[in-house]
Chain A
Amino acid sequence: MKFLPSSSEERVQCFRILDEDGYPISSNMMEHMSKELALKVYRGMVTLNTMDKFLYEAQRQGRLSFSLTSFGEEAINLASAAALSIDDIVLAQYREPGVLLWRGFALQEFANQCFGNNIGHGKGRQMPIHYGSKKLNYVTISSPLATQLPQAVGMAYSLKLDKKDACVVAFFGDGTTSEGDFHAALNFAAVMDAPVVFICRNNGWAISTQVTEQFRSDGVVVKGQAYGISSIRVDGNDALAIYNVVCSAREMAVNEQRPILIEAMTYRVSHHSTSDDSTKYRSKDVIEYWKTMHSPITRLRNWVERKGWWSDKEEFELRIQTMKQVKNAIDEAEKEEMPLLREMFTDVYDDLPSNLMEQETLVRETIQRHPEDFPKDMPL
């Protein structure tokens, strides 16, 4: 009689290409990223980082109600996006706007959504950072955790029936793996042979809950096998490793029509969101340590500089340019008009139902009769 142990003696190894200082670990290993791609990834990471900073500050200044940043997880954001095709459908959690950025969502569009103005794609419906773009195959962010996982399987099922050369990529955090939907999604994906790449950003924290309190298993990678899914653990702060792993995973998912699980190990340098002050439950030193000593941006920068593809001058220019663009986008977005009153009633259903039309008429009449009760600058 032999019980399987609760965990193996050794933890599952992490796949890496670059070490902490950006040196390739094995000099024989192919690095699989062209100069053009590497620089695009790098620029994207810096842009994401800058955008996050400014939006966070805007919330602190009271100009936004809420914001959420991806500090320390820029490699996962951009390198994974670089490995996907535009036809791959992305269902993210909320800490992956870099994927949308990579696909072409403009800084202005990010800002418009956050400020909920009239020209944002979201018509002022969603709270900040709940981005989405049908055109760019990025499903609108939904707040409840893990709901995107079985939905990803459903979309993959639909893709499968269409026989498209595409897969679905679902992002989620370590905490999300505790939700029932995570279990249902992985189980179902395996049973249905759905082409889904599940990418878990194991950043160590779920607001104030550390992974040791979240689960007792060796992280998330070991859970894949329980459902019959091939899984891999990768260094989430190594852009090259992420890129390679996601490329392979995608190929397997599309060609073999089966799900793959990727656990990207990283660290949540950010507070959970602007509603959180993580210094309440972890030391400032720890945050600073991870921010400086294990920055994915620095790591990739070292590698591209050593390759002769990047220099301080370009770094300086990039930083200045990005800051200007982001700041400008935010300022512009703030100036824009708020959504029209009509947008409160549209899209509840496909067609505007008569009861909502009546309500809109009543609201307009009330505003006309009692203008003193309503803000002067409300766009009608």
Chain B
Amino acid sequence: MDNSQFIQFPPGSAKFKRSMRYVPRDPGEDLDMEDSEHSLPPEGEFHLFGERHPMSLTRFVVACEGGVEDSDAEHGSVVVVTGVAFVVMAEHQIRTLDGERAPNNFEDEIKLGAVDRTFVSLSVGFEGLGVKEEKMWGILRQKVGGASGLSSQGLGNHMLRLRPVTSAMRSYSSATKEMTVRDALNSALDEEMAADPNVFVMGEEVGEYQGAYKITKGLLDKYGPERVVDTPITEAGFAGIGVGSAYHGLKPVIEFMTFNFSMQAIDHVINSAAKSNYMSAGQINVPIVFRGPNGPAAGVGAQHSQCYGAWYGSVPGLKVLVPYSSEDARGLLKAAIRDPDPVVFLENELLYGESFPVSAEVLDSSFCLPIGKAKIEREGKDVTITAFSKMVGYALKAAEILEKDGINAEVINLRSIRPLDRATINASVRKTNRLVTVEEGFPQHGIGAEICASVVEDSFGYLDAPVERIAGADVPTPYAANLERMAFPQIEDIVRAAKRACYRSAPMAASAS
């Protein structure tokens, strides 16, 4: 991890590489810092991970061996505790800016006061509560009003309830902020375009309109019309042009407004892009990315709802990726753009607006995910559920429901349809002995069919139940909302399938299976 952006706080000193701004709780607060061991951050804006946080330090938390929690801390708030800066993140978890994790397993909440008071309050509070100092980890000491040392008063109206240490450190969560899939894709495009002048974007409405789904927002202004090309309405035209430009060494990112329209250009995707390297005996490679929303949205009818994972996934020469979270979106799109082979990048319109936590590592511009590796989103031991794109979210929710019935499901986010991570899938099925595949596309010749065949071929002896395939209905997608709901997998369908695979059609008390 790149620490250079972080604020370094060696214990005993407070060296601020960047400036931070804090807001005292009360205006006119007298912050007498002279005698403090550690100076407060100077005014300014807080920079973290290359982004500005106009952060107001209205709250602080105390870190101690027992852990720290503050439910009122704002995301992004920075805490300075004995020279070690902590960042308060989502889910009330604390992480040090230098990467170390603060223990945060504790029972009582610690309320915060304003910066200055907190300094005082905390130190007083701790004293007042009689917790041994050596057990304290990182307490700020500060004098207030010229008084030296600690005072047992001055708590003011702040309550400090300290949770005693009860259990070991929880597992590390490095989530720093949340990011929508849309922003993830946009930032990935931006960074790759900045890093490589050969990368350019082409499609309908990608420029002036900022993208039909705003994925390319801001790119035209930043990179100009030569690198963000608005095209006439001809998928065959711009897909062919994209392939041609890739033949000559550019790295096009071609946007289809939806992959349903890619059928008008599918000859170029398959006959020109996928097969060229092979047919030209390695002389012509096509480092192109075809991206856009795939599968159903909501109420858009038959010609706007088909999933093309199976179609493109069957073609040798292509790589087919299916991101789910923002981390997936960033990592896989970057990998796709950098890859010398043609990549079909299937997004999902309904996921664009969804937020996911992203760690510092994900936000780094060099972040990249390997192509062809699935991710185990949730570990389990009773049944394996494979899914991709939006269905991963559904599968996770199904897994939570199943947990209540004592079924411990393992959810695999495929991330990549071609190459398919057969190793991960098979290893999981060998562990759980049961498999449910989930997809929104048509059932015949679908992704689930391929996964089932792979498992039967490689792990037949491990299966304790027939493979369950959950897929979209074998009909062109209807428009009416009630019919549309019936045409696509719902969470309950996944739950019932998992139960069938576990030979449990009715909810039962938890039992080892």
Contacts and interface: CB of A to CB of B under 8 A. Distances in A.
A355 interface: yes
A89 B245 CA distance: 12
Contacts of A183: 234, 237
Contacts of A125: 278-281
A126 B237 contact: no
Given A121-B281, A147-B271, A155 B276 contact: no
Contacts of A153: 237, 240-241, 244
B271 A155 contact: no
Contact of B419 (A121, A350, A353): A353
A189 B249 CA distance: 19
A89 B241 contact: no
A122 interface: yes
Contacts of B316: 348
B319 A349 contact: yes
Nearest to A356: B316
Interface stretch (B255-263, B282-290, B361-369, B391-399): B282-290
Nearest to A143: B271
Given A122-B280, A151-B241, A181-B236, A161 B272 contact: no
A304 interface: no
Given A161-B226, A349-B317, A154 B241 contact: yes
A142 B316 CA distance: 17
Interface string B228-266: 010110101111111111111110100000000000000
Contacts of A188: 231-232, 234, 237-238, 241
A134 B341 contact: no
Report which residue of A130, A156, A157, A183 has the largest number of chain B beta carbons within 10 angstroms of its beta carbon: A157
Nearest to B230: A191
A350 B273 CA distance: 13
B310 to A, nearest CB: 18
Interface residues of B, number: 44
Contacts of B151: none
A132 B275 CA distance: 14
Nearest to B280: A140
Nearest to B249: A158
A53 to B, nearest CB: 27
Contact of A158 (B236, B237, B245): B245
B303 to A, nearest CB: 18
Given A154-B244, A349-B319, A350-B277, A187 B234 contact: yes
Nearest to B250: A158
B217 interface: no
A184 B238 CA distance: 8
Contacts of A147: 240, 267-268, 271-272
A45 interface: no
A317 B241 CA distance: 46
B353 interface: no
A114 interface: no
Contact of A130 (B241, B272, B279): B279
B340 interface: yes
A159 interface: yes
Interface in A155-184: 155-159, 161, 180-181, 183-184
Contacts of A368: none
B281 A150 contact: no
A193 B17 CA distance: 49
A85 interface: no
Report which residue of B237, B238, B246, B247 has the largest number of chain A beta carbons within 10 angstroms of its beta carbon: B237
Nearest to B246: A154
Contacts of A234: none
A325 B159 CA distance: 99
B248 A158 contact: yes
Given A121-B283, A132-B280, A350-B277, A181 B250 contact: no
B280 A151 contact: no
Contacts of A152: 244
Contacts of A241: none
Nearest to A121: B281
Interface in B415-449: 419, 422
A246 interface: no
A158 B197 CA distance: 12
B279 to A, nearest CB: 5
B220 to A, nearest CB: 16
Nearest to A130: B279
A155 to B, nearest CB: 4
Contact of A150 (B244, B250, B284, B422): B244
B234 A155 contact: no
A185 interface: yes
Contact of B279 (A126, A184, A187): A126
B271 A144 contact: yes
A29 to B, nearest CB: 37
A294 interface: no
A142 B271 contact: yes
Contacts of B422: 355
Given A125-B279, A132-B284, A349-B277, A154 B248 contact: yes
A89 B283 CA distance: 14
Nearest to A188: B237
A140 B284 contact: yes
A140 B316 CA distance: 19
Contacts of B340: 350
A349 B229 CA distance: 27
Contacts of A149: 240
A348 B240 CA distance: 20
B289 to A, nearest CB: 14
A198 to B, nearest CB: 13
A55 to B, nearest CB: 20
A369 B451 CA distance: 29
Contacts of B242: 154
Contact of B243 (A134, A154, A191, A347): A154
A139 interface: yes
A103 interface: no
B1 to A, nearest CB: 28
Contacts of A353: 372, 419
Given A150-B244, A154-B244, A347-B282, A142 B236 contact: no
A129 to B, nearest CB: 13
A159 B248 CA distance: 8
Given A121-B281, A151-B272, A355 B240 contact: no
A275 interface: no
A94 B100 CA distance: 64
B283 A150 contact: no
B250 to A, nearest CB: 5
8 contacts: A150-B237, A150-B243, A154-B240, A155-B247, A158-B249, A347-B280, A349-B317, A350-B340
Given A122-B281, A343-B281, 11 more contacts: A125-B279, A132-B284, A151-B268, A151-B272, A154-B252, A155-B247, A157-B244, A158-B249, A184-B238, A188-B238, A349-B277
Instruction: Give the top 3 A-B pairs by smallest Cβ distance, nearest first.
Output: A154-B244, A184-B237, A150-B240
